[in-house]
Amino acid sequence: MDPNPAFYPRPIGVSYSTPSPQARRASIDTSTTLVPDTDQDSAYFRALEDANIHLNRPQIQAVRHGKGPLLTLAGAGCGKTTVLAARAGYLMAMRDVPASSILLVTFTSKAAAEMKLRIAGLPGVRPAAARAVQARTFHSFALAMLRHHGVQDEVFGETQAQHTVMKMMLRQLGLSEAFQPESLLSALSAWKAEGRSADELPETVREESDAKRAMLAYEAWKQERGKMDFDDILLRASVLLRDPDVLQPLQRRFSYIMVDEFQDTNALQYEMVQRLAARHRNLMVVGDDDQTIYTFNGARQESILEFDKVYKDAKVITLDINYRSDARILGLGSNIVAKNVHRRSKRLAAAGHEGLPPQFATPSGPEEEAAHIVTHLLGQVEEGQLRYRDIAILHRTASGSRSIFEQLIMRDVPFIQYGAGAVFYDQTLIRPLMDHLRLSLNPRRMESIPSTLGPLYVSREAGMEWIMREEKQQAKKYPLIHLSRWDRLRDFQREQVKERIRLIRSLSTMKPAYAIQEMRRVFYDKYLESGDTGAWTHYKETMQESLEELETAAKRFDTVEAFVSFADELSERHRQMESLRREEDSDAVRLMTIHRAKGLEFPCVYWIGASEGILPHSSALHSELPEDRRAGAAPTAAVDNDAALEEERRLAYVAVTRAKELLYITSPASNHGKPAAVSRFLLEAYGVTPPEASKPETRRTSFGQPKGASGYGSRVSGGAPTSSVATRVSSRSGPGSAAARTTSSVAGSRTEPRISVPVWKCTDDACKAWMRRDTTGGRRKAAAGTDTPPVCPLCSSPMTEGTRSIPAR
Ligand code: ATP
Ligand code: MG
């Protein structure tokens, strides 16, 4: 199947006759009729109506809820946050609860700020009262508490600095080659989120005790310098809360506590809330078990699923009318998440219009995806349909934004990237390779030298000091050469320096992608691997992904010079755009991971990377953990693939349900040069069973990579080495286009020798899909016990036996 960047109303692989999912439309009684003027509190609801908030029946119940525990369960966009804020306003305006007695806890500082803003806009809430409400994140609440009790330790929150310190500890303990600092920090963080201190870490096997030594050294380093990281803040605050002298005044002060995004609280956070609310028990929690997306950080879905068991007298209010998304967008989201097994069953209704169907595209890869999306959104803005700020681009992993980031910068689109670190080429892992390339063009580019020292196993600081001192005596064309005369290095290291310079010299004339492969082959992969062992290797997957991303990026350039100057220009432009980042309100596109988009909404959402291996992330399909769940609660914990896949599905649900009116989903047909199928989550949502080939064990050969006897002949994308036959879909159902499926074409040379092979053919005349049959008694046959005809992976029609002529290669 040829990739096609144009948008259509169904994902590729779904027959045009398949109806689009659509949520049922809600018929809603609102406060207008439900709260007559004769009600004592009608003024409050009338004022809300004036502000265009017409609460429905369960929302009114939640807002009016007085004392005692309350669980508000709801799907995405059903007004959880709205109700939380409205109840805070109600308590103040109608029940004379002082603003300072209300504590609202939420997940991100952005959400906390937004909450304050919403409360300030509520009827009867004076600006001073809105300011007095404590709307905080768990961390900011805990920090304020620590400060109040005289803890002066400096917050040590910068990730890069934490890495540097952990690296230093590993070096001092002679463990640099055994562990990645990132992995240890994440594991430590997950451990502490459970309320345990580093002293309690296991040390049964050697690897564990080594890891523990490094973690304890890291903890001691902070303590000696009076610093605390985010986990320390929570941990220390929770310890402080065990002291009745600390707890009781807080319990007296905060007589009403409400927690948003409750599904993502971890054990420590939950414990804090329970203690604070223990006296008055006026605890309201709101959440959606379908949006638990932080289990890798210790979030426990059970807390929400079992709240009414812990608080037996809890009132449970369910909100199932979505006010955010048009019915077709909501229908897609609901269909996606409905496939999860571990969830409270619910089916949302849409308050809004039917709206436009979500649009899908299958660009050939991330580059085409990015180029097409930027062209598309520029069109939307130029036509006056949208402002930049109405648009969000959501991606699964940090490295998944490289292409779109570059396109946005190079085409001068204003954008804010949340949680963004450096430009891709300046990231810790990538920078050394780029600096080698830079040095190949200009060996005296001094700022590029430090990052090349690590891969020579030379200390950055001491090495640079030596080089600079020697340079003063005698400047060299290759300043790195000074290391070959440094008596602190061993003979083989000095020899390595010379070899490295020879390699650097040769890089400038290579194709950039080849130069990267060469560096990886000669030294870089070995260098990275030396820092990884056994159970702590989850980080490896991320590294692999980023390095493949770099090769993909480099393939676009013919010369190292062009590649390097592109990366340099990007860094420069990025610096210029930094100022936008600081202005929350600026008219700029929002670019962020799906995790960061939780709780937010946008008129128009582009969800990029909706392909197998990206979302669901490849690591959820086999035994390794995705980059952001590499922490793993215990170092030796096995990964539950089903649970991982369910969390990926929840992420897809979160992505879809951020959109109000427009939703565009792109599934690049290749990822890191390998074919990638449309995300199973999309196909499933349209009732198409994802092809067996996309199951974990055959991941590498899925779709159009016929290895062995049963590969799919369709969905061939650029660079698929063994696929010479493609079923091509030249046009699909879409506005103004008939769903014309053309005949299959032979992409290889017609003079090649050909063989006839048994295949399954689609019975739908309009669909020419075929796939090779397993005549050797392979898995499908074995599993089915018979050679059962499969369902067409493209259009879901039955398939029938046939033969096909293919090149003999
Ligand atoms: P999420 O699960 O993403 O956190 P949520 O359940 O917190 O979503 P809100 O953000 O509170 O949902 O509401 C979603 C949108 O619906 C907001 O734009 C909000 O203003 C609107 N909304 C909520 N309730 C109503 C209502 N009764 N009438 C009109 N609009 C409403
Ligand atoms: Mg919310």
Residue 303 Cβ < 6 Å to ligand 1? no
**Residue from 49, 81, 119 to probe ligand 1 pocket by mutation (most atoms less than 8 Å from CB):** 81
pLDDT over threshold 90, residue 435: yes
Cα 77 to averaged position of ligand 1 atoms, centre (Å): 5
In angstroms, the Cα distances linking 253 to 102, 133, 279 are 8, 12, 11
Token pair listed for 406: 């570059």
HSE, side-chain direction, 13 A CA sphere, residue 117: 6
pLDDT of residue 501: 95
Question: Does the annotation place 80 within a ligand binding site?
Answer: yes
User: Residues 222, 232: contact at Cβ < 8 Å?
Assistant: yes
Backbone angles phi, psi at 611, to 5 degrees: -130, 155
What's the rounded mean pLDDT across residues 291-317? 83
**Residue from 45, 324, 605, 650 to probe ligand 1 pocket by mutation (most atoms less than 8 Å from CB):** 324
What is the amino acid identity at position 123?
A: P
Residue 53 Cβ < 6 Å to ligand 1? yes
pLDDT over threshold 60, residue 18: yes
pLDDT of residue 189: 86
Residue 632 Cβ < 6 Å to ligand 1? no
Question: Does the annotation place 81 within a ligand binding site?
Answer: yes
Question: Does the annotation place 598 within a ligand binding site?
Answer: no
Question: Does the annotation place 509 within a ligand binding site?
Answer: no
Q: DSSP state, 520?
A: I
Neighbours of ion ligand 2 (CB under 5 A): 80-81, 599
Cα 411 to averaged position of ligand 2 atoms, centre (Å): 33
What's the rounded mean pLDDT across residues 757-771? 62
Do you find a cis peptide bond into 358, omega within 30 degrees of 0?
no
Which among 590, 774, 761, 748 has a CA at the least distance from the CA of 693? 774
Residue 659 Cβ < 6 Å to ligand 1? no
pLDDT of residue 110: 79
Q: What DSSP string describes 721-763?
A: TT--EEB-----SBTTB-------EE-S-TTS-EEEEEEEEES
pLDDT tens for 220-242 read: 999 999 999 988 999 999 999 99
Residue 79 Cβ < 6 Å to ligand 1? yes
Cα–Cα distance, 701 to 403 (Å, whole number) = 25
**Residue from 49, 78, 82 to probe ligand 1 pocket by mutation (most atoms less than 8 Å from CB):** 82
Question: Does the annotation place 76 within a ligand binding site?
Answer: yes
Strand, helix or coil at 307?
Answer: helix
Alpha-carbon dihedral 669, 675, 681, 685, rounded to 10 degrees? 60
What is the helix (H) or strand (E) element at residue 807, kind and residue range? strand 799-807
What's the rounded mean pLDDT across residues 57-61? 95
**Burial of residue 750 (number of CB atoms within 10 Å: 0-12, 13-18, 19+):** exposed
The closest ligand to the CA of 288 turns out to be 1
pLDDT of residue 132: 87
What's the rounded mean pLDDT across residues 655-676? 93
- Return the residue whose CA atom lies nearest to atom 17 of ligand 1: 324
pLDDT of residue 795: 52
Question: Does the annotation place 515 within a ligand binding site?
Answer: no
Cα–Cα distance, 763 to 767 (Å, whole number) = 8
Cα 108 to averaged position of ligand 2 atoms, centre (Å): 11
pLDDT tens for 497-530 read: 999 999 999 999 999 999 999 999 999 988 877 6
What is the helix (H) or strand (E) element at residue 590, kind and residue range? strand 589-593
Residue 78 Cβ < 6 Å to ligand 1? yes
Q: Which residue has the higher pLDDT, 576 or 676?
A: 676
Q: DSSP state, 613?
A: B
Q: In 415-453, which positions are buried (b, 16+ CB within 10 angstroms) versus exposed (e)?
A: bbbbebeebbbbbebbbbbbbbbbbbbebeeeebbbbbb
User: Residues 723, 693: contact at Cβ < 8 Å?
Assistant: no
Residue 76 Cβ < 6 Å to ligand 1? yes
What's the rounded mean pLDDT across residues 693-703? 33
Q: In 126-158, which positions are buried (b, 16+ CB within 10 angstroms) versus exposed (e)?
A: eeebbeebbbbbbbebbbebbeeeebebeebee
pLDDT of residue 742: 27
pLDDT of residue 651: 95
Q: Which residue has the tokens 């020798």?
A: 753
- Return the residue whose CA atom lies nearest to atom 4 of ligand 1: 599
Confidence band, pLDDT 50/70/90 cuts, at residue 442: very high
pLDDT of residue 689: 84
The closest ligand to the CA of 323 turns out to be 1
pLDDT of residue 165: 87
Total H helices, total E strands in the chain: 31, 25
Average pLDDT, the chain: 80
Question: Does the annotation place 637 within a ligand binding site?
Answer: no
Which among 184, 202, 187, 192 has a CA at the least distance from the CA of 235? 192
The closest ligand to the CA of 63 turns out to be 1
Strand locations in 266-378 (E): 283-287, 315-319, 321-322, 349-350, 359-362
Cα 291 to averaged position of ligand 1 atoms, centre (Å): 15
Walk me through the domains of the chain, giving residue ranges and CATH numbers. Answer: 31-149+236-317 (3.40.50.300), 161-224 (no CATH), 359-414+587-807 (3.40.50.300), 447-565 (no CATH)
Cα–Cα distance, 626 to 400 (Å, whole number) = 13
What is the amino acid identity at position 239?
A: V
Ligand 1 atom nearest residue 74's Cα: 6
What's the rounded mean pLDDT across residues 128-148? 91
Ligand 1 atom nearest residue 261's Cα: 4
Backbone angles phi, psi at 678, to 5 degrees: -60, 140
